[in-house]
Amino acid sequence: MKGEGKEGNSAGWTVLFDGKSLAGWHPYRRHAKGKAWKVKEGAIHLDKSGEGSEERADLVTDELFSDFHLRLEWKISESGNSGVLFYVQDDPERYEQTWMTGPEVQLLDNERHPDADIPKRRASDLYDLIESAPSSVNPAGAWNSTEIVSDKGILEIYLNREKVILTKLWDDNWQQLNSTSKFKSIRGFGSYRSGRIALQDHGDEVWFRNIIIRKL
C-alpha cells in the first residue's frame, strides 16, 4: 500500500511534529491562544482540564500543501470526537471554522459517541460526505494510524493500514456529495486544491503523534 515508507526526510518525508513542541503549527484565527493544545510524552494532547481550555481553536500547519501523503497516529478519549482536516483555508474573515473550508476525516469513539449512529459520521468517514469501510478503528484510549493520500484529485484514506475510502475530488460526483451534505450552503467548501492540515478541537481530549507528510 502507499502507506509504506521511511519516516523523517528519507524518501521525501517531512516531520510535521518534532515530539517536543508545537513548532510549525498555530491556532486557527491567529489571535486565538489555543491554550488547550499541549505537548506531553511525545504527543500533541488536547488537554481540556487546564485554565483556558474552554477556548476552542483548531491547530493548523504553518505550511500549505497541495498533492500530499499524510501519516499520523491518534487516540481519542471516551465518548470523544475530533478530526483531521485538509485543504483548510486560514481565512477567518470568510470562514469562522476550519471545517467550513476543508474536508474532515472523522476521529471518534464509535462505541460511545452519538455520532456513531449517524451515517457518514463514524471514525474514518469523510465527515458527512462518504462512509468508510471496513471499520477497523481501535477503541477509545488505544492508538490508531490514519493516512490521507491526495494525488491529482484521487483521494485515499487508510485506517490502521487498511484502505477505507477511495474517491475522486472536485468532479461531478464530488459536487453531488457536497450538495446533499451539511456543507451545501458554504461557498467554496471542498473546492480548494491547496491548504493547511488541521487538528480539530471539538471539545474532547485527543492525542496525536508521529505526524509526517510527503509532497507528491
Q: Are 157 and 170 in contact (CB under 8 A)?
A: no
* CA dist., res. 153 & res. 56, Å (int): 31
Over the stretch 4-45, which tens digit does the pLDDT of each residue have?
433 445 689 999 999 999 999 999 987 677 889 999 999 999
- According to DSSP, the β-strands at 43-46 and 206-215 are antiparallel
* CA dist., res. 137 & res. 76, Å (int): 11
The larger pLDDT score, comparing residue 9 to residue 184, is at: 184
Could you give the percent of the chain with pLDDT greater than 70?
93
Greatest pairwise CA separation for the chain in angstroms? 46
Domains detected in the chain: 10-215 (2.60.120.560)
Q: What is the pLDDT of residue 2?
A: 47
Over the stretch 80-131, which tens digit does the pLDDT of each residue have?
999 999 999 999 999 999 999 999 999 999 999 999 999 999 999 999 999 9
* Predicted TM-score (pTM) of this structure: 0.93
**75 pLDDT more than 60:** yes
Counting DSSP H helices and E strands in the chain, the numbers are 1, 13
